[in-house]
Amino acid sequence: MLAAMKAKLEAGELTAFGQDDPPFGPWHAIPAPAWRKLRITNVRKGEASVGANIVHDIHILPPDAEEITRTGVPGCPTKGRDIIAYEFQRRAEAGEIEDSLAAEARALQAWYRETYPRRDCPTTTTIVNNLRDAWRAVRLRTA
């Protein structure tokens, strides 16, 4: 699975961002050709290296990442409303949504915490409120 993901990064099918000096260093896009030399050293922490240079806190986004780089809402810019909405759409298209909105919110919250452990996570109530209409529309289509 790791090799498949790295192949997609090398081909430019996925976009990755990382930091050289976390937590305050600037974020930068990691160009696709760089993945030919980068070695993933810690998947859980999102770290890769080439020689002594380490890229930290790597986040991998889909090819249309510019549409979802906004991660939150005014007043809560670090909370991932847009990222969670994108993951919900992916799950809905794959037929992976839960039977209830509350269960789906819990699953999305768990996914977000696992995927973005250093970011603030919205509460399940916030996720429910943000996804209620989309979840109902998906349930109507699949019922």
DSSP 103-116: HHHHHHHHHHHHH-
User: Does 71 have pLDDT greater than 70?
Assistant: no
Q: What's the average model confidence in pLDDT over 53-64?
A: 77
Predicted confidence at residue 75, as pLDDT, reads 54
Is pLDDT larger for residue 96 or for residue 65?
96
Average pLDDT, the chain: 81
Q: How far apart are the first and last CA of the chain?
A: 33
User: Does 29 have pLDDT greater than 90?
Assistant: no
Q: What's the average model confidence in pLDDT over 4-8?
A: 84
Q: Which of 8-12, 31-35, 114-118, 135-139 has the lowest mean pLDDT?
A: 114-118
Residues 6+ apart with CB under 8 A from 138: 92, 97
**What values do phi and psi take at 131, rounded to 5?**
-110, 0
User: Does 69 have pLDDT greater than 60?
Assistant: no
pTM for the whole structure: 0.50
Predicted confidence at residue 78, as pLDDT, reads 52
Cβ–Cβ under 8 Å, residues 80 and 116 = yes
Helices (H), the chain: 2-11, 81-93, 101-115, 124-142
Predicted confidence at residue 68, as pLDDT, reads 40
Predicted confidence at residue 143, as pLDDT, reads 67
Q: What's the average model confidence in pLDDT over 107-135?
A: 88
Predicted confidence at residue 103, as pLDDT, reads 96
Nearest to 61 by CA among 116, 110, 106, 114: 116
Is pLDDT larger for residue 143 or for residue 107?
107
